[in-house]
Amino acid sequence: MQKILKHLLLFLFWFFIGNFCIATTLPSGYTQLEYIETTGTTWIDTGIYGNLNTSFEIVVQTTVAPTEDIRFVPFGSRQSATESNIMVLIDVDNKVLTDFGDYTETRLQASVDNIMNKFKIYNSRSSRYIQDLTSNTTHNNTESYSTNFTTPTTLRIAAVGPGFHVLQKNFIGKVYYVKIWDDNILVRDFVPAKRNSDNEIGMYDTVNNMFYTNAGTGTFIAGPAICAATATALDEQICLKDIQPNGLYLPVKYNNNKYYLMLDATHDYPIHQDSDNKLKIKVGNTTYNVHDASVFE
C-alpha cells in the first residue's frame, strides 16, 4: 500500500509539474503573468501626469495590424502632436513611433520588419529608442527637448485621450510591463498580474504595492502565469493553477530531499524553514509540518 501511494504521488507530481509555479515578484494573493492582453476597451490609468522630467519604458506587441483608418496607442497622453505630447504609436506601413513634448523636435520613427513583432520602447527628454525584440534591431535618437509641460491627463496604458487624432485608437494587444520614472526616480513599475481572490486581471505596481484594474469597460485577457521549472526556493510564494480544488499532495525539493505538500489549488501558500530546520507551510492562519519523503518508503 505504501509503495502504491508513493508511485501515485510521483505520478501526480509529474502530471501537474507544468502547473506548479513560484511567483517571485508579487506579494501573497497575486499571480504574476507574462502579459495582459487589451481588447480596445480595456486600459490602465497610471495616476501619473507626464512632464519634462518623465521617462518611460514599455514592452508591447499588437495582436491586430493597424490600417489606414485605425492606428494604435499603447501608451501616452497629449494636448496635441506639437504640445505636451508623450506617446507611443503602432502605425501603418510597419512603423512604430514615439514622441516627447513636440513631435517636430523629438519624434523617433522606426521602420520595422513586421508590425506584429514584440517591441520595447523607451523615451525621455534627451533620448529615446525602439527595440524590435523579435528581430533584435534597435532604432534611436538623442534629440533633446527643454520646454516645460504637463500632459492634459494622467498617462494611460492602452488608451487614447483628448488631443489624439481621430484615427488613433486604444491599443489592442499584449502589454508585458511598463516602467515610469520622474527625474530619474522610478515611480511606477507595472507588472501584469491576477488577483487570486476574484481572478481580476490588471497590473501590479511594485513601487507603491498597488494593484491597478481596468479603467475602461470589459476585461483584460490574462497571459500565462510566470512559472519556475522547480519548486526549490524558500520564502517564496507557491502558486497553483488548473488543479482540481479538492486538494492534492505534491512533492517539492529542499536540500535535495523530496517533500509532499497537501495543497488546495484555490489558494496560495507561503513556505518557510523554522528554527528547528524543519520545512513548514502556512495555510490560512495555521502552519503545518512538511514531512520528509522517507515516510512513504
Residues 6 and 56 in one domain: no
Helix locations, 118-230, DSSP H: none
Contact 119, 60 (CB under 8 A): yes
| H or E segment and range at residue 49 | strand 44-51
Residues 208 and 153 in one domain: yes
Residues 17 and 41 in one domain: no
C-alpha cell at 295: 515516510
Length of the chain in terms of residues written: 297
Residues 199 and 261 in one domain: no
| Domain limit, last residue, from 222, 251, 276 | 222
Residues 37 and 16 in one domain: no
User: Please, what sign has the CA dihedral across residues 44, 45, 48, 53?
Assistant: positive
**Residue-level pLDDT at 225:** 84
**Residue-level pLDDT at 227:** 53
Residues 84 and 131 in one domain: yes
How many Å apart are CA 115 and CA 95, to the nearest integer? Answer: 7
Mean pLDDT, residues 194-203: 94
Contact 158, 61 (CB under 8 A): no
Residues 259 and 152 in one domain: no
Mean pLDDT, residues 162-175: 93
Over residues 90-138, the pLDDT tens digits come to 999 999 999 999 999 999 999 999 999 999 999 999 999 999 999 999 9
Contact 75, 88 (CB under 8 A): yes
Tell which residue, 199, 180, 201, 177, has the closest CA to residue 190: 177
Residues 195 and 217 in one domain: yes
Residues 218 and 197 in one domain: yes
| Domain limit, last residue, from 195, 222, 249 | 222
> Could you tell me the residue range of the domain that residue 248 belongs to?
2-24+230-296
Over residues 223-271, the pLDDT tens digits come to 988 753 333 333 334 444 333 334 444 555 445 555 545 554 445 555 5
| Domain limit, last residue, from 164, 196, 222 | 222
How many Å apart are CA 86 and CA 152, to the nearest integer? Answer: 10
- Tell me the DSSP string of 220-254: PEE-PBP--SS---SSSEEEE-SS-TT-EEEEEEE
Contact 173, 89 (CB under 8 A): no
Cα–Cα distances in angstroms (integers) from residue 160 to residues 11, 154, 163, 166, 244, in the given order? 50, 11, 8, 10, 41
Domain total in the chain: 2
What CATH number did the domain enclosing 43 receive?
2.60.120.200
Residue 89 identity? L
Residues 48 and 194 in one domain: yes
Percent of the chain with pLDDT over 70: 68
Gyration radius of the chain over CA positions: 23
* CA triple 183-188-194, angle to 5 deg: 170
